[in-house]
Amino acid sequence: MTYDPTTDPTILAAEALRQCKSAALAEATAADMPISVATMCGTDEWAAIATDTAGIPTEDELSAEKAAAIARKRAKFASESLNRADLPERQFKRAMGESGEIDRTGKWGVFLARVEANIAKGATMVICGPRGTGKTQLAVCAAIAAANAGRSPLYSTAFDFFLRARETYRQTSKHSEREIIISMVAPDFLILDEIHERGETAWEDRLLTNMIDRRYQAGKTTLILSNMDEQETSKALGPSVSDRMTECGGIATLDGESRRQKAQPK
């Protein structure tokens, strides 16, 4: 139901006040007494104004309409954010499977809940573990949760990040290294996968540290995934990133059976 201000009793009452006789208004003002619409306009006239509520939504109707509008806005934001997030298609389709329910069982579910709880906290988190334990799948599920909560996600492998930065040195490049870093700082929730796939050069170290430090300063959450163990990963990230991780996020190992084998069709 659409709200029509021309039928609002408050607006009608105000108009009625303006139309009342100036003599009555002057008398009430001189006596320094409050004056009601009923006094100014007459009881019958006020009764007609007060009871003319046709077309005005009730409080419950307004609340339901507002909730529906917010839900539509959130759904649109989530859809547009996920379209721009560059999530790996295989894991995204698996997360949005037939049941629509995300697997939250066992240790994997505990890790997912931990990541989701930190999405809005500006954390720097690292998940290590052997191949196939579901690290990327977990990150994609967290990205979907972030989008549904009104926060923009972005997925990138470390290799792609460094490759895009290197390409800026070409004469034909339309982007600068700074713009690449800014594009990684912009999203609310960044997934940086396969951190082990990097050369660990001084240039990469500076680039990685600069990007993650900018995200830290902006209060944005970063999730880093690695196939190395915790000690190797901390060494590869360098002392600055490791300090950020220790301060607000932490590092943990996701192990167990391979989820890739589990996902194979029977």
Domains and CATH numbers, the chain: 5-51 (no CATH), 87-262 (3.40.50.300)
Q: What is the pLDDT, as a whole number, of residue 3?
A: 45
Nearest-angstrom CA–CA distance, 183 and 264: 35
**Which class for 217: exposed (0-12), middle (13-18), buried (19 or more C-beta within 10 A)?**
exposed
- Least confident range of 9-18, 67-76, 116-125, 158-167: 9-18
- Least confident range of 15-24, 95-104, 191-200: 15-24
Nearest-angstrom CA–CA distance, 47 and 50: 5
Q: What is the pLDDT, as a whole number, of residue 45?
A: 53
Average pLDDT for 149-178: 94
Average pLDDT for 109-135: 92
Nearest-angstrom CA–CA distance, 28 and 121: 59
Q: How confident is the model at residue 14 (pLDDT cuts 50, 70, 90)?
A: very low
Instruction: Compute CA distances 165 → 98, 141, 143, whole Å.
Output: 38, 27, 24
Inform me whether the pLDDT recorded for 72 exceeds 50. Answer: yes
Inform me whether the pLDDT recorded for 41 exceeds 60. Answer: no
Instruction: Compute CA distances 264 → 92, 93, 258, whole Å.
Output: 16, 14, 10
User: SS3 letters for the chain?
Assistant: CCCCHHHCHHHHHHHHHHHCCHHHHHHHHHCCCCCCHHHHHCHHHHHHHHHCCCCCCCHHHHHHHHHHHHHHHHHHHHHHHHHHCCCCHHHHHHHCCCCCCCCCCHHHHHHHHHHHHHCCCCCEEEEECCCCCCHHHHHHHHHHHHHHCCCCEEEEEHHHHHHHHHHCCCCCCCCCHHHHHHHHHCCCEEEEECCCCCCCCHHHHHHHHHHHHHHHHCCCEEEEEECCCHHHHHHHHHHHHHHHHHHCEEEEECCCCCHHHHCCCC
Considering the chain, what percentage of its residues have pLDDT values greater than 70? 73
Q: What is the pLDDT, as a whole number, of residue 22?
A: 45
Average pLDDT for 41-50: 50
